[in-house]
Each structure stands twice: as C-alpha cells, then as structure tokens.
C-alpha cells in the first residue's frame, strides 16, 4: 500500500517564499517520479514541476527561475521518496491548491505489476497576497 504525505504551504505576501514537501512510502520494487500540480478556483489543474527517479527536473514556464524541485537525499531510501518544491518570488497568481503525484516505475521490468497507478495527495493550499 502506497502512502503519500504532503506538507508545507500557507500564506505569504507577494515576493515571499514557501516550501512544499511530498513524501511517498511504497513498494521496494518501485521508484517514484514526483510531480506537483496546482489548481486555482475556477481553473483546471495544471502541471507545475516534476522530478524523475534519475533526478531530471521539469518546470512549467510560469514558474521557471522561481521554483526548484529536488529530492531530499537524506530521507530517500528503498521504500521512501521525498521531493521538495522550493518556491521563491511568489506572485498572487501562484495562489492555488497544490497537489503532489507519485508515479511509480519498476526497478526492473518484472516488477511492473507492483508499480502501476499514480498516488495523489489531498492537496495543500498556497495563498499569495499582493
């Protein structure tokens, strides 16, 4: 059974910083790509940033240069993957509910049945006031 816990978020003024963290505990047969999405009221959910098992990162254009995603290497092991999203220079348009997704990959192809289906967090609110 996969468990995912999000933390961080809160309210800041424009230009401020926040840090989100996402921790997933799952099968030792899997590794996890970690992605952050956000959804503002009345808008569709959008991709924000992601980091794969190899440490490769991806960012939405709207957050490039302001957000940084990274693994917490001190906490990562065979069962646990932790990814942090550091957000700087926050803008009011960054206000949204932020969701973490853990997408599993098998460490070898034989384990593919153990590593199917993403797990989503319940979301954490980020509010940026002008």
Residues 99-123 have pLDDT tens digits of 999 999 999 999 999 898 999 999 9
Per-residue pLDDT at 126 exceeds 90: yes
Q: What is the pLDDT of residue 39?
A: 98
Q: What is the pLDDT of residue 76?
A: 87
Question: Residue 19: exposed, middle, or buried by beta-carbon count in 10 A (0-12, 13-18, 19+)?
Answer: middle
Per-residue pLDDT at 79 exceeds 90: no
Q: What is the mean pLDDT of residues 46-51?
A: 98
């Amino acid at each position: 059974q996969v468990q995912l816990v999000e933390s961080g978020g809160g309210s800041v003024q424009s230009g401020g910083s926040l840090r989100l963290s996402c921790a997933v505990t799952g099968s030792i047969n899997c590794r996890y790509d970690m992605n952050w999405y956000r959804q503002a009221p009345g808008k569709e959910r959008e991709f924000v940033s992601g980091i794969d098992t190899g440490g490769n990162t991806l960012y939405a254009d709207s957050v490039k240069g302001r957000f940084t995603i990274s693994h917490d290497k001190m906490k990562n092991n065979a069962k646990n993957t932790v990814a942090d999203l550091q957000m700087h220079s926050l803008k009011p348009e960054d206000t949204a509910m932020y969701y973490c997704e853990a997408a599993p990959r098998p460490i070898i192809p034989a384990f593919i049945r153990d590593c199917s289906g993403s797990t989503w967090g319940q979301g954490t609110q980020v509010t940026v006031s002008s």
